[in-house]
Structure 1
């Protein structure tokens, strides 16, 4: 039996936080003790000890592959550095977004998505942390019908999200897209408008959500991205979605909660104090108890930083950490295995030092195995969570 003792840590469970110790046996949490230190154990020196972050939507891998338009790097290289960065940011499970769509303007196609997902299936076997696929699936094309069976062959597929492709219907208005498209393709506004209207006319005729639901609803959870109106939410729910991912309005978020769906918002939105593109503020939605999950979206470090910000603002540590661990685990059906510091669960743990502006991850364990270890810069500062002068306001 492999036994490892972690002592003198500030532990956050799903319901409380306290100083104590965690006993790990054969990769699982065997015991949690309050106000007890084991002399023979590993002294964490008062570091916070939390469950590993579970990130259900990350664009990081895609940005490592394509950091600039026209610049592409090999998948193994991009995956390696995504994996390292995830561990350094306290994430033990990451769902990387892969776009299953035919969009020649963005150089995306279904064959490329299948190839990328299959490559992830292989690369993740030797990774530091767990990596899975978040499929951003375009329901507005008949092409999707040819790939549903192949998607079921992807071992790491853990979430499928309807990513409606009709221009101007969701996050960005039609006119906003005209400006963006004209600039990105170096064409006139009239030409961009003509092309976009052609897309609207063609894509609006196709809705393959029924077939997607029939093929994948029993395979992994379904969700919907950038819901803007209650009608968007209702359509997604009708076709099996249990998640509304980054709704762009309060009306959409409220309707999702009324229908019993989970709502996910971006941690960068919370940390920055609002959406980078002017959509719904995460903090505003949280004020109405409309948010269940935070994801990294495009910035890994904001996951734990958001937790510290919430604690600073008076939210209990237990409630704060659940947004990035237990709640996403529940969505994925993993909460019986991981997502919280509880006896019997896998020891996916993160020890970090709290700074006034961020979390400094010192140790990461996945199934009780130490996957990441750096030297701490000084001793933990208890005042860091509630600084006299906070940059967070």
Structure 2
């Protein structure tokens, strides 16, 4: 039997936090002991001990694949370093977003998105943390139906989100999109508008939501992305969505809450104090209890960073931690096995300290196995160099 003990930790459960120890047997939490220190265990030195973060939406893989426009790297190379970074940020389950769209301005075709997803399927079992696919499907893509059944064969696909790209409808206004294209393509505002009008004329006539729903309704989590109006939320709900992901307005978020949808917003939005593109602030949404889940969106460190910031702002530690662990687990129907520190659940655990207004992760466990270890309590000492050697080096320069 593989047994080990984590001791002297500030443990956060779904309803309380306390100093104590956690016993792990064969990758499962077997006992949680309050107010007791075991010197024979792994001494966490009073650090926070929480369930590993479950990131239901990240675009971070794109940063490793294309750190600069036109400078691409192979998927195994990119995924390895994304995986390492996720572990170092306390994320034990990652859903990488892959866009399925025939929008000519996207960085890959439907066929290329399919091939990328198949490569992730192959690579995911040899990584540090758990990896899944989050398909951002553009329902206004004409060529999409040919790819729906092949997508069902993807082992790692578990989330499917309607990601509408009709210009001016959701995240960005028409004027914002004109400005973005003028800058990105070096064209005039009139030329940008002409391109957008062509795209609007084509995509507004296509809606594959019914076929997407029929394909994925049986075993996949469905969601709607960038809901802006009440009608957007109602449409998502009609086509099986249980998640409103990144609603851009209070009106949309309020409607999602009314209809019983889970609401996910970006952790960078909360940590920075607002949306980078002027949409709904996570802070404003939380003030009305309109945010259930925080995801990394485009920046891994802000998941735990937001937990630290929430606690600093007076939010109960259990509520803060649940937003990056138990709540996403409940959305995904993973909560019987993971998402919280409870006896009988998988030992996906993270230890961190928070003295500097962000999380310094020291330990990450997946199935009770150490996947990341860093000791920030040990100061880096300068190398001892003999004075004669320094004189020689100075002379040679």
How would you bin the TM-score normalised by the shorter chain? over 0.9
Match of 2:237 in 1: 237
Deviation at 1:321, TM superposition (A): 0.1
Give the distance between the partners of 2:118 and 2:366, measured in 1 at CA: 23
Q: Where in structure 1 do 4 or more consecutive aligned residues deviate above 4 Å?
A: none
Give the distance between the partners of 1:203 and 1:103, measured in 2 at CA: 9
TM-score (norm 2): 0.94
- 1:192-231 maps to which residues of 2 (within 5 A)? 192-231=192-231
Residues 166 and 199, structure 2, Cα contact 8 Å, conserved in 1: yes
Residues 28 and 344, structure 1, Cα contact 8 Å, conserved in 2: yes
Match of 1:159 in 2: 159
Give the distance between the partners of 2:195 and 2:20, measured in 1 at CA: 62
Match of 1:389 in 2: none
Deviation at 1:357, TM superposition (A): 2.0
Give the distance between the partners of 1:31 and 1:297, measured in 2 at CA: 34
Residues 152 and 219, structure 1, Cα contact 8 Å, conserved in 2: no
Match of 1:98 in 2: 98
Deviation at 1:372, TM superposition (A): 0.5
Match of 1:71 in 2: 71
**Structure 1 unaligned residues grouped into runs of 5+:** 380-393
Residues 153-205 of structure 1: CA distance to partner in whole angstroms, max 9, x if unpaired?
11111211100010110111112111211221222221211111011011011
Deviation at 1:298, TM superposition (A): 0.6
CA separation of 1:141 and 1:103: change in aligned 2, threshold 3 A: closer
Residues 121 and 156, structure 1, Cα contact 8 Å, conserved in 2: yes
Secondary structure at the aligned position of 1:143 is classed as coil
172-181 vs 198-207, greater mean Cα deviation: 172-181
Residues 135 and 159, structure 1, Cα contact 8 Å, conserved in 2: yes
Give the distance between the partners of 1:304 and 1:183, measured in 2 at CA: 34
Secondary structure at the aligned position of 1:135 is classed as strand
Match of 1:383 in 2: none
Deviation at 1:268, TM superposition (A): 0.5
Match of 2:388 in 1: none
Secondary structure at the aligned position of 1:361 is classed as strand
Match of 1:291 in 2: 291
Secondary structure at the aligned position of 2:280 is classed as coil
Residues 50-91 of structure 1: CA distance to partner in whole angstroms, max 9, x if unpaired?
000000011110111112221211111110110000000000
Residues 178 and 189, structure 2, Cα contact 8 Å, conserved in 1: yes
Match of 1:374 in 2: 374
Residues 271 and 302, structure 1, Cα contact 8 Å, conserved in 2: yes
**Structure 2 unaligned residues grouped into runs of 5+:** 380-397
- 1:1-393 maps to which residues of 2 (within 5 A)? 1-377=1-377
- The Cα RMSD (Å) is 1.1
Give the distance between the partners of 1:56 and 1:287, measured in 2 at CA: 22
Give the distance between the partners of 2:68 and 2:101, measured in 1 at CA: 20
Residues 321-370 of structure 1: CA distance to partner in whole angstroms, max 9, x if unpaired?
00000000111110111000000000000011112321000010000000
Give the distance between the partners of 2:357 and 2:17, measured in 1 at CA: 21
Give the distance between the partners of 1:32 and 1:376, measured in 2 at CA: 26
Deviation at 1:103, TM superposition (A): 2.3
Give the distance between the partners of 1:60 and 1:328, measured in 2 at CA: 18
Give the distance between the partners of 2:43 and 2:189, measured in 1 at CA: 63
Give the distance between the partners of 1:165 and 1:105, measured in 2 at CA: 11
219-228 vs 105-114, greater mean Cα deviation: 105-114
Secondary structure at the aligned position of 2:289 is classed as coil
Residues 194-252 of structure 1: CA distance to partner in whole angstroms, max 9, x if unpaired?
11101101101111101100000212100011100010000000000000001000000
Give the distance between the partners of 2:334 and 2:268, measured in 1 at CA: 24
Deviation at 1:378, TM superposition (A): 5.4
Residues 33-52 of structure 1: CA distance to partner in whole angstroms, max 9, x if unpaired?
10012232111111110000
Give the distance between the partners of 1:355 and 1:139, measured in 2 at CA: 45
Give the distance between the partners of 1:41 and 1:195, measured in 2 at CA: 63
CA separation of 1:10 and 1:378: change in aligned 2, threshold 3 A: farther
109-118 vs 249-258, greater mean Cα deviation: 109-118
